[in-house]
Amino acid sequence: MKVFFRRIHLYLGLASGLFLVMVCLTGSLLVFEQELEHLWHPARYYVAAAGAPRLLLAQLTAAVQAAKPKAQVSSFKIYADPTRTVEVNLAGGGGENGGKGAGSGAAAGQGPRGGQEQGEGRAEGRNPAEAQGPKSGAPTGPGGPSGRGGKGHNNGPRLFVNPYTGAITGEVKTQDSFFHFVEQIHRGLVAGRVGKLVMGINAIIFLFILGTGIVLWWSSARKALTARLTVKWGSSWKRLNHDFHIVLGFYTSVFLFIMAITGVGMSFDWVGNTINTLTHSPRQRPEPPTSTVPAETGATFGADAALAAARRQAPGALTYAVQLPKEPTGSLQVGILRPGALTERATDDVYFDQYSGRVLRQAPYAQQPLGLRIQGLLKPVHTGAIFGWPTKVLAFIIVLLGATFPVSGTLLWLNRTRKSKKKSQPRDLAVEAG
């Protein structure tokens, strides 16, 4: 039986080793994506905290439209940190093509009918309101609906605006960024649905490799546990390679298993559907409530009023993600990220009537369907972001070690093959002499 597991472990490792190295190396970059972006582009994300009060969202909208006359604002993300810029997402191609998108009129406090020019051209994608969590039972990873990429290949750029002056400090279109390209390699080899399927299957194979590796480790550890738990430093490179693969492989196996299984969860829809079934959760989040369009359009309840109401409800929140309505009957949504939230997506959502300002629905994170909350944890667990810096550093170390195991395993196999050949040669000579 041991020989059987060793062969399965070997053949699967040889077949997927190159993919595993690539996945681990790209994954190590993605662990600190946010930190690296802030390090490389500090002027985009940070400003000097002025003594003056912050501008209203309506004023920021006017500043954006002055720079981009056809821009259609779809959402804002406001940080409690006074040194952070305000993130402004634009709909479609940023409004430069004049196409319809999410309204930036009354919803931002600028015109008589909020969200009237919304619509057909608005694409999905990661935006400041992404912290609201998964919107369906689909995977919540980078390529899923609630992650970067997904169906959002036509979503507009994100602008970074000085909250005190209205100056645009940066502009990013996620699909053109370096980290988006790295993530496309990580999740699907930049090969679309076929590539994602291949990488999903590769993640399943990795689970089998880890499982058979634990079986092989345990079969030998019963006789020499100490040798299977310690690296013999100062030994020959062959012995060190052996210990790195087996000893470090054991210590990292649990963490790699968690990363692999969450990777599978983000690759296949059936995983999300299974989670929803087991937790008796709906496959999709409830549809947002609708606003009542008044017979005579008067003053509307804009983004500034919604933000003020959210601040009164949660004055100590870390961020407020304001999603503008997409149509005349749409509601104004604010995602509130409270201190101590488990992930950036663990927000309490409040929906306002865009005309009257009446609270249409409150959806605290703790009351969201369990299945959707579990799916919302897949990516933070996968990337190590679940508990901040400690788990990010741990994930970084684990994936770097993971990249070495296909290499050390291949060397281990080659060394054993050569050793077997050397042992067989004297026997062959003895047979010929006889």
Per-residue pLDDT, 166? 95
Question: Which pLDDT belongs to residue 155?
Answer: 72
Question: Using 50, 70 and 90 to split pLDDT, how confident is the model at 139?
Answer: very low
Average pLDDT for 119-144: 35
| Model pLDDT, residue 410 | 92
The pLDDT of 119-148, averaged and rounded, is 35
Q: Which residues contact 255 (CB under 8 A, 6 or more apart)?
A: 394, 395, 398
| pLDDT at position 95 over 60 | no
Q: Which of 194-198, 296-300, 417-421 has the highest mean pLDDT?
A: 194-198
pLDDT for 103 equals: 47
pLDDT digit string, tens, across residues 316-353: 999 999 999 989 999 999 999 999 998 998 999 999 99
Would you place residue 238 in the very low, low, confident or very high pLDDT band (cuts 50, 70, 90)? confident
Residue 49 pLDDT: 82
Q: For tokens 């054993």, what's the residue?
A: 416
Give residue 259's pLDDT. Answer: 95
* Structure tokens that stand for 229 in this block: 């738990």
The answer to whether the CB of 387 falls within 8 A of the CB of 371 is no
Q: How confident is the model at residue 234 (pLDDT cuts 50, 70, 90)?
A: confident
What is the model's pLDDT at position 235? 82
**Model confidence band, residue 93 (pLDDT cutoffs 50, 70, 90):** low
Sign of CA dihedral 183, 119, 296, 358: negative
Least confident of 7-11, 55-59, 421-425: 421-425
Q: What is the pLDDT of residue 1?
A: 74
Kindly tell me if the per-residue pLDDT of 268 is higher than 80: yes
Q: How many Cβ atoms sit within 10 Å of the Cβ of residue 308?
A: 13
Q: List C-alpha distances in Å: 49 to 53, 85, 421.
A: 10, 10, 71
More reliable by pLDDT, 295 or 16: 16
pLDDT value at 427 more than 80: no
Tell me which residue of 381, 338, 357, 358 sits closest to 349, measured CA to CA.
Answer: 338
In tens, the pLDDT along 187-199 reads 998 888 898 899 9
pLDDT (0 to 100) of residue 224: 72
Instruction: Measure the CA angle with vertex 347, ends 345 and 350; round to 5°.
Output: 135
Tell me the pLDDT tens digit for each residue of 255-264: 999 999 999 9
Name the band, by pLDDT with cuts 50, 70 and 90, for residue 272. Answer: very high
Q: According to the model, what pLDDT value does residue 416 have?
A: 82
Question: For a pLDDT cut of 90, what percent of the chain falls above it?
Answer: 59
> What is the structure's pLDDT at 428?
53
